[in-house]
Structure 1
Amino acid sequence: MNEPVADILPTMAGQRLARGAARLLRSMNHAVMTEFVPTRGLRVDLMSIGPKGEIWIVECKSCRADFAGDRKWQGYLEWCDRYFWAVDCDFPTDLLPDDAGLILADAYGAEIQRMAGETRMAGARRNRLTRNFARVAALRLHGVADPATLTDGAF
């Protein structure tokens, strides 16, 4: 008989938002990866690839200061087809740009409040990013199965 898996909540607020937003994306049949680096100098909270190959980025913001301190988010826009903010119900959403998507989340789930507009990436960039996503996902999965193979900077 299978034993139930412990539900261990992440300690940081942003990680809890990421968990809930990732659950939403999985329910939409997206493959989701946390802390992904689409290009040198950028690390997104969540990146997902949908069933038709669409690429979404979700940035999780736990408070006003977290949002105000983020100076890189506009660089993420060219690395996705749709861009979203994930926040909790107490976040002052009037701070967020209107043209991005909005997800309300907690550690257990999320709901899209506003769908992001679509800006399709160029085919060559999509191809490179999709291959990179697959490679990093495989390396992470292998690292879980065989931690001795983990090396610094592998993903």
Structure 2
Amino acid sequence: MSQPAPLSAAWPLADGRQSETAASVQRGVCRLLRSAGFAAVTELPLASGRRADIMAVNERGDIWIIEIKSSITDFRTDQKWPEYWDYCDRLYFAIPPAMSPEIMPLEAGLIIADGFGAEIVRDIAEIRLAAARRKAVTLRFARAAALRLHNLRDPLSGGADCL
């Protein structure tokens, strides 16, 4: 059994890994999720070692992962997205308005987003996680969110290398 990937408490707002387009899509998706009753964490490391662009949880415990694709090249060079189904009830792609939605696989939902908001243009059926996996994912989400919040209040706490 492989070791879970470490979680980073470093606040990933401007970490240099995202393009301006991806950051804009992320902002719009997070606004949509919040208005739908979800709390979102960005750049969340999963136990598999992969990193979810956005993971969201609502008060019922529904878990969604949103994979941001900022360009056709981004989509074609990154085919890890099917692995995310092991960590969520619903999986969506989020793309900017300028990107053609026809190329996005039907095995995931689709969100069109810009820096101001987003819209689900294709929903996807829910595939509920097993209880043990749901608990593990929810705990990882909660710990990452709490540690990031703590780092905002106390940036010198030495928490950049923990959850």
Using the size of structure 2 for normalisation, the TM-score is: 0.85
Unaligned segments of structure 2, at least 5 residues: 1-17
Q: TM-score under structure 1 normalisation?
A: 0.89
Matches within 5 A, 1:77-88: 77-88=85-96
Q: Which has the higher contact order (CA 8 A, sep 6+)?
A: 2
Structure 1 unmatched runs, 5+: 1-9
1:150, CA displacement in angstroms? 3.4
What is the alpha-carbon distance in structure 2 between the residues aligned to residue 137 and residue 83 of structure 1? 20
Q: Deviation above 6 Å: which 4+ runs of structure 1? A: none
The secondary structure found in structure 2 opposite 1:129 is helix
Cα-to-partner distance string for 1:81-127 (whole Å, 9 max, x where unaligned): 00001111111211111131111100111011111211000000000
One-letter code aligned to 1:32: A
User: What is the percentage of aligned positions where both structures have the same residue?
Assistant: 42
The separation in 2 between residues aligned to 1:29 and 1:18, in whole angstroms, is 17
Specify the SS of the correspondent of 1:17.
helix
Indicate if the aligned counterparts of 2:147 and 2:159 stay in contact, CA closer than 8 A: no
Q: What's the offset of the Cα at 1:56?
A: 0.1
Aligned residue identity for 1:84: Y
Residue 129 of structure 1 deviates from its aligned partner by 0.8
Residue 11 of structure 1 and its aligned partner are, at CA, apart by 6.0
Partner of 2:33: 25
Pairwise CA RMSD: 1.6
